Amino acid sequence: MNAIRTLFFATIVLIAAAVPVSVFAAVIEITPFAGYTWGGEFQEETTGTKLEVNENGSYGIMLDIKQTEDTQIELYYSRQSTELQSKKSGSYVGTPLFDLDIDYIHIGGTASMGEGKVKPFAVGTLGVTRMSPQGVDLDSATKFSLSLGGGVKIPITDHFGLRLEGRWLGTFFDGSGQAFCTSGQCLIKIQGDVFSQFVANAGVIIAF
């Protein structure tokens, strides 16, 4: 996972080097954020048992680089440290199977709408989801994913503001697949195409 984070921040540096100075002189926004993430379900193919990701807090950072008056390039990173549990008839069964870290590493863009001080925007990104079991001898799973969402930016000064947004995050398993394997044996056989999560984020924009 450290290698992926290093690659993510190296990408930020490369984009910064490649974007014309006139664009950087306009606006760069760095937004650390806290969020709440819910959703995410697997179905064990053999027994049909539903396995769900516990909803809880998440955090991350966004880098937005202005391209036109209404569009930006965006780099997005978030992490949710959670648990995977079996669920039956609306209630959790037994202790968690294991702790699970879910990282989203994406690139995409935003498009602003409206002319007022409060700026609504739409956002779309794509990249990878990294699911890392903790405290167990199981391999991590890395899959293609995308996000779609929207929100508002609320300027407070020329250099600070607030960003409120919601997103759908979809991770693709290409039909029946496998996840969380070790020594050729997999704990979960995925049934279905898309692992869906939803997140509400609130962050502080630092603009320069």
pLDDT, tens digit, 9 for 90 and up, residues 82-111: 998 887 655 445 567 889 999 999 999 999
Among 30, 107, 33, 121, which residue's Cα sits nearest to residue 69?
A: 121
The model carries a pTM of 0.82
Q: With left for phi above 0 and alpha for psi between -120 and 50, is residue 2 left, alpha or beta?
A: alpha
pLDDT at 22: 34
The C-alpha angle 49, 42, 91, rounded to 5 degrees, equals 55
pLDDT digits (tens, 9 = 90+) for 106-148: 999 999 987 777 889 999 999 999 999 887 778 888 999 999 9
Among 204, 10, 196, which residue's Cα sits nearest to residue 104?
A: 196
Report the distance separating Cα 136 and Cα 97, nearest Å. Answer: 9
Full set of structural domains in the chain with CATH: 2-12+30-38+54-133+140-171+198-207 (2.40.160.20)
Backbone angles phi, psi at 113, to 5 degrees: -135, 140
